[in-house]
Amino acid sequence: MQNPTPHLPTAEQIRRAPKVLLHDHLDGGLRPGTIVDIARATGYDALPETDPDKLGRWFREAADSGSLERYLETFTHTCAVMQTYDALVRVAAECAEDLAADGVVYAEVRYAPEQHLEGGLTLEQVVEAVNEGFREGERRAREGDNRIRVGALLTAMRHAARSQEIAELANRYRDRGVVGFDIAGAEAGYPPTRHLDAFDYLKRENNHFTIHAGEAFGLPSIWQALQWCGADRLGHGVRIIDDITVDDEGVHLGRLASYVRDKRVPLEMCPSSNLQTGAATSYRDHPIGLLRRLHFRVTVNTDNRLMSGTSMSEEFGHLVDAFGYTFDDMQWFTVNAMKSAFIPFDERLAMINEVIKPGYAELKAEWLFASGAAAPPLASDSAAERG
């Protein structure tokens, strides 16, 4: 008997599938109810809404502006409630818990320590609070029968001038909860080469970093991030599509796109976020479809769960709808992400072989045990004809 065409994963199966997340902002993923609670407790009175449901909607709508600069304005409110040790522990713990409940087994979550100093914390206290929160969230997840490991990425803001200091901080907390470094914030006008000293320093320390590039600005930003700064991964990188032409003669990759594919540079793609900032026009037209077909090292990510009202399962759901992705596609994206993580090779390999592959194997076999009406529809001809 032939193998039946693999059926499309259901929303519930997508949630249960093991997922790996490389690009998620801590200050872009708070629970609306937590923002309201902390604002009340700390006397922050500038929230646009105080009802959690309305506040969640406000974030999604305000971030849906078509411009990265306006999208980033919404972070004023989340950062405002992340200025005390306890608030950071709580937000980080809930982040790990929420990701685990969504079936994420490994996550690298980033934040900019320099944005959490207004209440008098030191950079070190900020890192320690977030680490404590992640460990607490991992523990709560285990109690709830979920498994997750979370590593932190320290972000420096590209318009500011603290990248060297933050790079040193990332290096100091290496092997103690922090797995790498990043730069974020408005891209146009703030090229990654402004922070060359920080990147050179991290390379000399044999440390890892990713750079937000090719989101609101195009190929020059990606080129600088890779060839001047030496980024291990690209945050977004969607604009690499500008170096690819598809016509009657086939697909042609320019030098930069070829380099990205040949060198297996991981692309941290965030479809919903791109629709909100105007970096892409629809899920169907999102470059991830073509880049996956061309076998770039593509990964799927959330960016900001609060601002996009999304989760890893939601992102995969959109891609299944738009491109008909199967469990095999989901596994491919997930293995890509795990291969590209900043933790040691042996740990990545164990995650792939002992957690990710067995998880997908089990999901792929579920149709075998589904009874009668519950059986997944075969995509083409009837089962009888397959004999």
Q: Which amino acids are annotated catalytic?
A: 215
Q: Which residues have a Cβ under 8 Å from the Cβ of 107 and sit 6 or more positions away? A: 20, 21, 22, 24, 96, 99, 148, 149, 150, 151
Q: What mask of x and - would describe binding to ligand NOS in positions 44 to 73, judged by CB under 6 A?
A: ------------------------x---x-
The two three-digit tokens of residue 98, written as one number: 């929420």
Token pair in block for residue 266: 């991981």
Segment contacting ligand NOS by CB under 6 A, of 107-115, 118-126, 291-299, 358-366: 107-115
Q: Is 276 in the site for ligand NOS (CB under 6 A)?
A: no
The site partner of 185 among ligand NOS, Zn ion, none (C-beta below 5 to 8 Å per kind) is ligand NOS
Work out the burial of residue 215: count CB atoms within 10 Å of its CB; fewer than 13 is exposed, 13-18 middle, 19 or more buried.
Answer: buried
Number of H helices, E strands in the chain: 19, 10
Contact between 27 and ligand NOS per CB under 6 A? yes
- The sign of the dihedral angle between the CA atoms of 115, 118, 121, 123 is positive
Residues 132-171 that bind ligand NOS (CB under 6 A): 155
In whole angstroms, the minimum distance from the beta carbon of 156 to ligand NOS comes to 9
Quick note: the x/- pattern for Zn ion over 285-314, rule CB under 5 A, is ------------------x-----------
From the annotation, which residues make up the binding site? 23, 25, 27, 185, 212, 303
CA 36 to chain centre: 25
CA dihedral of residues 9, 272, 347, 225 (deg, nearest 10)? 140
CB of 15 to Zn ion, least distance (A): 23
* Contacted by 90, from Zn ion, ligand NOS, none: CB < 5 to 8 Å by type: none
Q: Which of 185, 191, 266, 271 binds ligand NOS (CB under 6 A)?
A: 185
* Tokens of residue 117, six digits: 């100093």
Question: Which residues, in sequence order, are CB contacts of 101 under 8 Å at separation 6+?
Answer: 141, 144, 146
Beta-strand pair 250-253/210-213? unpaired
Task: Please report how close the Cβ of residue 334 comes to ligand NOS at its closest, in angstroms.
Answer: 21
Per rule CB under 6 A, count of chain residues that contact ligand NOS: 19
Q: Look at residue 151 and give its three-state secondary structure.
A: strand
Residues 110-139, interacting with ligand NOS (CB under 6 A): 110-112, 115
Which positions touch ligand NOS (CB under 6 A)? 25, 27-28, 68, 72, 75, 79, 110-112, 115, 155, 184-185, 212, 215, 273, 303-304
Which positions touch Zn ion (CB under 5 A)? 303
